[in-house]
Each structure stands twice: as structure tokens, then as C-alpha cells.
């Protein structure tokens, strides 16, 4: 018998796709499924208009978009604003498809079988299952599978994000952050540092200077792409993780390790809406997962935060309770 099929549907942005793919992989660990990634785009003028004005959404896909043609899947996992109208359209065509939408879809919850938003969005409803942060592709099993060559990436992992609508990376703030890291290196701590695609280019010279010290390694996203990304090995081999305040995804991934997590504060943009970030970080502190990084590293333990697995179990539970037909819709 053929495996059930799961579509992972996003606009292709790495952070968005990683959330949906992480949940799909966790579901497939429980109930084997064939995962098909769909990266969608919408042609002009429709992409500039509210999706409720589109009419039939499937007719608005751009020529470069992946197609969303039958046979439709048993499970749909969408993430990001652009995936919402297509989830609604396919649900109408294929009621048997179980539709899961991550984040806040900003649409009536009755349009989906299950919505999985972050807890700090404060959504509620019979088909809403909130989690701390967002799903990710890091889990206890993957970070524990650190191979021997990666064991040199030990001690403290440093995960650096980049500016967004709330936080900024000023020269003064970046300099202070690098100084704190340098002080750890001076005390003999080993640092394994990785950046993201959002990390400002102006921070690179400071990081390269820091990486000249003994015991400090650096991987720059986009420049060191020919080398294997050490991110999973860093999380598996470290004793603590430092994460910049701007990234919910990286903080949740760090929390899946059971290692101490430090949140490095950043400067905020004037009148920036930081309430959701503050609520998220407070939830980590309340559970004993994270503390503010002020230059010192301590050891402590907490119950592993494996929200992706918890969400996957809820998807399976609801699919089974609804008695989804094993036949694909054609």
C-alpha cells in the first residue's frame, strides 16, 4: 500500500519552510508519510490584492510556482500568509484532506482542520493548538547524533540572527556583544559561532577578529556554504547555547537540546511592537529554559522543550479521531 502523502506548502522562504517541514518530518516519524515540498508564488496583479478578492486561488499561481494539482494529499501543512488561500481552496475541493496551518492565518479558524500558532499569539478555539514558539527541524534525537569529527565543536554554541521589525544591530550593541563573547574566550571557554542570512555584513569583521582567538570557530551563512553547516553538531556538542533576542526559531531549537539557553538582548527600534517577543522569552524563563546573557555562563537543567513532537502527536490524534480516508482524492 502506498504511503499517505503530506504537502508542505510555503512561499519558499527558508524560515517559513523549515517550520512546516519540521512538523511534517515529526508527523512522518509517528506515521510514515511521503513528504512533498511545494513552493508557491502568485502572479500579478493578484499578489497585490487581498486573497479574498482572488476568486479561485488555484488559478492565480505564477508560472514559476509549483503546481497544486490532483491527486490531493491526505495531509496539508501550510505556513505563511501566501499559503492560506490555497489551503482554503483545496479544502473545498478535497474535504478529506486534513489541513494544518501554522502561525496565525488571520482567517476564520473554521476554514482549517487545525491551526498551530505560537502561544504568544493568544489564539483560541476548538481547532487551535498553541505551542511555545514554532515547529522546527531540531529534535532530541538529531542533536544527540553528533558524529565523532563534530565533537570539536564543544562548549558554547553562539547563534546569531539579524535585524527585524523589532530589533536592530547597532555598532555599539554589536561591539558590546562581541566583547562579552571575547571575555568568555579569554577565560578558556570554546565558542562555536554561526550566523544567519539576516546577520548584518558589518558584523562579519568583528566576528572574524574574534575567530582568530584560540578555541573560537566561525561559520558564516552564505559564505561558508561549500562547507557542511555545523549547526546540528554545535547544538549536539555544546554545554550551553547563546541566542540573539531576535530569533524565536533558534531559541526553540536550542531549547530542544536540554542545554542552558541564554538570550542575548538587542537594541529595539523606536516604538517597535515587541510584546510577542517578550511574551515568548518570558515563557522560556518561566519554564527554566532560558536566562538573559550578561557575560557569565552557568549550568542548569530543565525538561526538554520538544514542541514539534507535541504538535505532531496532536495532528495524528486529530486525523485519527476524524477517521480520514486512506484513499487519496483524485
**Mind listing the pLDDT tens digit for each residue in 252-267?**
989 988 999 999 999 9
C-alpha cell at 246: 531576535
Q: Which domains does the chain have, with CATH numbers?
A: 5-135+308-322 (3.40.50), 140-305 (3.40.50.2000)
Q: Where does the pLDDT of residue 226 fall: very low under 50, low under 70, confident under 90, or very high at 90 and above?
A: low
Q: Is the pLDDT of residue 148 over 70?
A: no
Q: What are phi and psi of 48, to 5 degrees?
A: -90, -5
Nearest to 28 by CA among 60, 74, 64: 74
Q: What is the pLDDT of residue 231?
A: 83
For the record, the C-alpha cell of 155 comes out as 562548549
Per-residue pLDDT of 227-248, as tens digits, reads: 666 888 888 889 999 999 999 9
Mean pLDDT, rounded, for 274-288: 94
Q: How confident is the model at residue 142 (pLDDT cuts 50, 70, 90)?
A: low
pLDDT of 147 > 60? The answer is no
pLDDT band at 152 (very low <50, low <70, confident <90, very high): very low
Q: Is the pLDDT of residue 151 over 90?
A: no
How far is the CA of 138 from the CAs of 2, 256, 305, in angstroms? Answer: 27, 7, 11
d(CA 218, CA 234): 11
Residues 58-75: pLDDT tens digits?
999 999 999 999 999 999
Amino acid at each position: 500500500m502506498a504511503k499517505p502523502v503530506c504537502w508542505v506548502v510555503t512561499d519558499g522562504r527558508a524560515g517559513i519552510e523549515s517550520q512546516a517541514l519540521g512538523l511534517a518530518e515529526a508527523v512522518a516519524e509517528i506515521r510514515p508519510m511521503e513528504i512533498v515540498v511545494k513552493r508557491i508564488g502568485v502572479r500579478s496583479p493578484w499578489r497585490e490584492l487581498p486573497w479574498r478578492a482572488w476568486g479561485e486561488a488555484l488559478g492565480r499561481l505564477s508560472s514559476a510556482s509549483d503546481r497544486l494539482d490532483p491527486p490531493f494529499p491526505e495531509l496539508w501543512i501550510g505556513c505563511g500568509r501566501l499559503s492560506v488561500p490555497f489551503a482554503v481552496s483545496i479544502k473545498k475541493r478535497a474535504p478529506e484532506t486534513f489541513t494544518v496551518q501554522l502561525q496565525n492565518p488571520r482567517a476564520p479558524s473554521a476554514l482549517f482542520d487545525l491551526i498551530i500558532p505560537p502561544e504568544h499569539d493568544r489564539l483560541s478555539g476548538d481547532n487551535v493548538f498553541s505551542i511555545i514558539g514554532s515547529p522546527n527541524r531540531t529534535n532530541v534525537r538529531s542533536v544527540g547524533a553528533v558524529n565523532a569529527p563534530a565533537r570539536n565543536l564543544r562548549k558554547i554554541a553562539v547563534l546569531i540572527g539579524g535585524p527585524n521589525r523589532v530589533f536592530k544591530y547597532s555598532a555599539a550593541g554589536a561591539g558590546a556583544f562581541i566583547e562579552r563573547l571575547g571575555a568568555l574566550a579569554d577565560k578558556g571557554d570554546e565558542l562555536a559561532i554561526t550566523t544567519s542570512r539576516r546577520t548584518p555584513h558589518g558584523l562579519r569583521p568583528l566576528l572574524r577578529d574574534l575567530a582568530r582567538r584560540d578555541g573560537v570557530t566561525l561559520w558564516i551563512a552564505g559564505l561558508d556554504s561549500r562547507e557542511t553547516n555545523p549547526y546540528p553538531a554545535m547544538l549536539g556538542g555544546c554545554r550551553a547555547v547563546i541566542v540573539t533576542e531576535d530569533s524565536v526559531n533558534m531559541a526553540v531549537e536550542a531549547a530542544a537540546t536540554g542545554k542552558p539557553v541564554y538570550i542575548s538582548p538587542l537594541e529595539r527600534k523606536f516604538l517597535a511592537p515587541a510584546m510577542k517577543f517578550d511574551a515568548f522569552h518570558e515563557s522560556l524563563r518561566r519554564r527554566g529554559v532560558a536566562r538573559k546573557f550578561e557575560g557569565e555562563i552557568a549550568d542548569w537543567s530543565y525538561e526538554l522543550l520538544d514542541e514539534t513532537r507535541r504538535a505532531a502527536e496532536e495532528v495524528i490524534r486529530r486525523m485519527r479521531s476524524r477517521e480520514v480516508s486512506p484513499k487519496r482524492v483524485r
